Copies of this chain bind each other. A is one copy, B any other.
Amino acid sequence: MNTTQSAAEWWALNGALIFEGVGIVAFAVSGLIEAARKKLDFVGMAVVAALTAFGGGTLRDILLDRRPFFWVQNVNWIYGVLVICILAMVFLRGRHIALTERAIIWPDAIGLAIFTAGGTQIALATNSPPIVAVILGTLSAAFGGVLRDIVVNEIPRAFSDHQPYSIVAFVGAWIVVLGAALNWPSLISLAGSAAFIVALRMIAVKRGWRLPEWKV
């Protein structure tokens, strides 16, 4: 067996998993920060963290009537989120929140990219029309945060902060559709879409881009 090839194979198999984990951690942390701000108890922190991390992908799978959910297939994600919550109970303090929020900007962008690209491909694989696949891909990544905000009784930030977040995902998801139409290898479509989303998201953050406002 060729070593280079097996390294490539290893990456093809595990790379997405690693990036997925980075995204899940970022989403879970954003959930528990919100839960901590609202002074929820440990149950609340764990549920909100899990809802933020798993909610988008779960809703996508419910809409596609697809089982098992990724957190059922790989229960380590559940234990991982639980461990993060316990660590947060013990170590996270109010003064760390601003720092933590800055620290998860990159992981969060990676999660946005991976879940969008992966979700779009999963939806395409079940013969969803392109616009539906793109919507379900975007929702896989962005709806966990929407559920987080609904549960802690806030208007979802994704709908009201005028930041290009889900719209970046929505645009990048079309690269997966394009790749499928042109018969690109799926790894290329996924990587291309994800890279585009991470790049555009980080540019939007750095430059402080804002969505157009509805003029009263």
**A interface residues, Cβ below 8 angstroms from B:** 35-36, 38-45, 47-48, 58, 62-63, 65, 67, 69, 71-72, 75, 78-79, 88-89, 92-94, 128-129, 131-132, 135, 146, 150-156, 158-162, 165-167, 211-216
Closest Cβ of chain B to A160, distance in Å, is: 5
Residues of B within 8 A of A67 (CB): 65
Q: Is the CB of B89 within 8 A of A155?
A: no
A213 to B69 Cα, complex, angstroms:
31
Q: Is the CB of B89 within 8 A of A212?
A: yes
Q: Is the CB of A44 within 8 A of B156?
A: yes
Residues of B within 8 A of A131 (CB): 75, 78-79
Q: Is the CB of B78 within 8 A of A132?
A: yes
Residues of B within 8 A of A156 (CB): 44, 151
A131 to B67 Cα, complex, angstroms:
17
Residues of B within 8 A of A161 (CB): 41
Residues of B within 8 A of A129 (CB): 72, 75
A154 to B41 Cα, complex, angstroms:
15
Residues of B within 8 A of A41 (CB): 159-162, 211-214
A132-B93 contact, Cβ under 8 Å, with A42-B214, A211-B42: no
A103 to B49 Cα, complex, angstroms:
34
Residues of B within 8 A of A159 (CB): 35, 40-41, 43-45, 47-48, 151
Residues of B within 8 A of A132 (CB): 71-72, 75, 78
Residues of B within 8 A of A92 (CB): 214
Closest to A163 in B: B41
